[in-house]
């Protein structure tokens, strides 16, 4: 069995990422290596618990762990205070003390919420991420951003809190919905654009294998993505500067999500549109050639990702972007790609000047 190991190097908060195919049964080995508490709660939703819960919990119990399953409803709309409160209530009723740990089994919603529960329960207990969506495997499970949503906005209540271990089994992706799979691919493509031209070319060459969910191709893509994210997090854990490059495509992408009420697009789909718009802006500012911008769009399309902004007035986009967390002292901080494989942060004083011409020429794009 192929098992890849990475480390996120953060001094005493460093942790391992294991990546492989069919490695869920090895979770107890990983927990033993990090001396994880013997009493654990496995937090998941009905769908993921139904797919993997029985086997995972059985393996943990066989290995001597005391396991409390906690099942919360499935969906972004449940990443909220009420559901978090329910997790705390179960932990308190079951008399969990400081010598316990949480295991997040699921996609980014479960991972973010379980991480925040771990950060705050009894002022912090250890937790482990077992991500089961492609997006969670390459992005949300690594780097320690944990959060719940507030009714006034996404991820507004949260903490930086690193897991003790991230356990990625790409075999879990076999049942993943095609759109969720593509949404994860958008984040993988993002890593190539911001940091690694060779990886971008590799993704182009292996797109058919990835679309087939070939295990070797998936392991390689997840590993390189996690490596790039880990390197950035190691430099700037709490997003004082550099980490913001991980938000490439996200400023416009979040505006797309906001304007469509979070119903029409998956996060990764909105990021795909945002990356195309960012590359068009970069091209206008002479940072990116037309060929590189076209290569990005073509690769996103090869994974059936949307690349055209939905039709909203420019002013609506500008207002949505102004409300985003990425505003910095009144200016919009954009991540712009320097071709493929490099990027920079740029503060924009007049977003209308930057986005207006790009959106006006986007085929089927917004009305002015």
Question: Which member of 21, 145, 195, 297 is catalytic?
Answer: 145
Q: Which is nearer to ligand GLY, 139 or 324 (CB)?
A: 139
154 in active site: no
Tell me the Cα Rg of the chain: 20
Q: How far apart are CA 322 and CA 53, in angstroms?
A: 41
What residues line the site for ligand GLY (CB under 6 A)? 139, 143, 145, 243, 246
Q: Which is nearer to ligand NAD, 20 or 143 (CB)?
A: 143
Closest approach of ligand GLY to the CB of residue 249, in Å: 11
Q: Which is nearer to ligand NAD, 136 or 305 (CB)?
A: 136
229 in active site: yes
Question: Which member of 190, 195, 229, 266 is catalytic?
Answer: 229
Strand partners, 49: none
Q: Which does 243 bind (CB under 5 to 8 A by kind): ligand GLY, ligand NAD, none?
A: ligand GLY
267 in active site: yes
Residue in this structure with the two tokens 């919360």, named with its chain if needed: 72
Q: How far apart are CA 102 and CA 112, in angstroms?
A: 12
Closest approach of ligand GLY to the CB of residue 339, in Å: 22
Closest approach of ligand NAD to the CB of residue 318, in Å: 23
Question: Which member of 239, 325, 331, 346 is catalytic?
Answer: 239
Which of 324, 331, 329 is closest to 346 using CA atoms?
331
Q: Which does 304 bind (CB under 5 to 8 A by kind): ligand NAD, ligand GLY, none?
A: none
Strand partners, 334: 346
Q: Which does 180 bind (CB under 5 to 8 A by kind): ligand NAD, ligand GLY, none?
A: ligand NAD
328 in active site: no
54 in active site: no
Alpha carbon 323 to chain centroid, angstroms: 21
Question: Which member of 247, 269, 283, 326 is catalytic?
Answer: 247
Q: 3-state secondary structure string, 131-188?
A: ECCHHHHHHHCCCCEEEEEECCEEEEEEEECCCCEEEEEHHHHHHCCHHHHHHHHHHH
Task: Give the pairing of strands 100-106 and 127-131.
Answer: parallel
165 in active site: no
Q: Which is nearer to ligand NAD, 76 or 214 (CB)?
A: 76
Which stretches does DSSP call E strand in the chain?
3-8, 15-20, 39-44, 66-71, 100-106, 127-131, 145-150, 153-160, 165-169, 327-328, 331-337, 343-348
250 in active site: yes
55 in active site: no
What residues line the site for ligand NAD (CB under 6 A)? 45, 47-48, 51, 74, 76, 79, 106-110, 112, 132-133, 135-136, 139-140, 143, 145, 154-155, 172-173, 175-176, 180, 183, 267
Question: Which member of 93, 95, 123, 151 is catalytic?
Answer: 123
Q: What are phi and psi of 265, to 5 degrees?
A: -120, 145
Residue whose Cβ sits closest to ligand GLY: 246
Cβ(307)–Cβ(276) under 8 Å? yes
Residue 287: partners with Cβ closer than 8 Å, 6 or more residues away: 336, 337, 338, 339, 344
Q: Which does 315 bind (CB under 5 to 8 A by kind): ligand NAD, ligand GLY, none?
A: none
Q: Which does 103 bind (CB under 5 to 8 A by kind): ligand GLY, ligand NAD, none?
A: none
Alpha carbon 44 to chain centroid, angstroms: 17
34: which DSSP letter? T
Question: Which member of 164, 165, 195, 250 is catalytic?
Answer: 250
Question: Which member of 254, 266, 283, 326 is catalytic?
Answer: 254
Q: Which is nearer to ligand GLY, 63 or 345 (CB)?
A: 345
Query: Would you state the structure tokens that stand for residue 146, as one six-digit string?
Result: 């944990």
Q: Which is nearer to ligand GLY, 111 or 143 (CB)?
A: 143
Q: Which is nearer to ligand GLY, 145 or 164 (CB)?
A: 145
190 in active site: no
> Residue 282, Cβ neighbours under 10 Å: how many?
27
123 in active site: yes
Q: Which does 112 bind (CB under 5 to 8 A by kind): ligand GLY, ligand NAD, none?
A: ligand NAD
Active site residues: 123, 145, 187, 229, 239, 243, 247, 250, 254, 267
């Amino acid at each position: 069995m192929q098992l890849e190991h990475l480390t996120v190097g953060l001094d005493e908060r460093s942790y391992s990422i294991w990546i492989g195919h069919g490695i869920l049964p090895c979770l107890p080995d990983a927990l033993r290596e990090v001396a994880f508490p013997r009493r654990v709660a496995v937090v998941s939703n009905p769908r993921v618990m139904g797919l993997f819960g029985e086997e995972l919990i059985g393996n943990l119990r066989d290995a001597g762990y005391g396991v409390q399953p906690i099942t919360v409803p499935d969906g972004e709309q449940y990443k909220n205070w009420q559901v978090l409160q329910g997790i705390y209530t179960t932990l308190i009723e079951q008399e969990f003390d400081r010598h316990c740990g949480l295991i997040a089994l699921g996609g980014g919603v479960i991972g973010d919420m379980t991480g925040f529960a771990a950060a705050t329960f009894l002022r912090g207990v250890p937790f482990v991420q077992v991500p089961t969506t492609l997006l969670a495997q390459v992005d949300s499970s690594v780097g320690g951003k944990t959060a719940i949503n507030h009714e006034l906005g996404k991820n507004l209540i949260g903490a930086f809190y690193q897991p003790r271990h991230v356990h990625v089994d790409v075999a879990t992706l076999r049942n993943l919905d095609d759109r969720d799979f593509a949404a994860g691919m958008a984040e993988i493509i993002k890593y190539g654009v911001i940091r690694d031209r060779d990886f971008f070319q590799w993704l182009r060459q292996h797109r058919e294998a990835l679309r087939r969910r070939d295990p070797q191709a998936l392991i390689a893509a997840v590993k390189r993505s996690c490596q790039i994210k880990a390197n950035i997090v190691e430099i700037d854990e709490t997003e004082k500067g550099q980490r913001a490059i991980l938000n490439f495509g996200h400023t416009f992408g979040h505006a797309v999500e906001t304007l469509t009420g979070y119903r029409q697009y998956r996060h990764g789909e909105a990021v795909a549109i945002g990356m195309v718009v960012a590359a068009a802006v970069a091209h206008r500012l002479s940072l990116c050639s037309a060929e590189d911008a076209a290569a990005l769009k073509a690769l996103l399309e090869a994974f059936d990702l949307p690349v055209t902004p939905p039709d909203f007035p420019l002013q609506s986009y500008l207002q949505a972007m102004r409300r985003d967390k990425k505003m910095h002292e009144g200016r919009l901080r954009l991540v712009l790609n320097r071709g493929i494989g490099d990027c920079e942060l740029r503060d924009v004083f007049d977003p209308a000047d930057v986005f207006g011409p790009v959106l006006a020429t986007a085929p089927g794009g917004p009305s002015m």
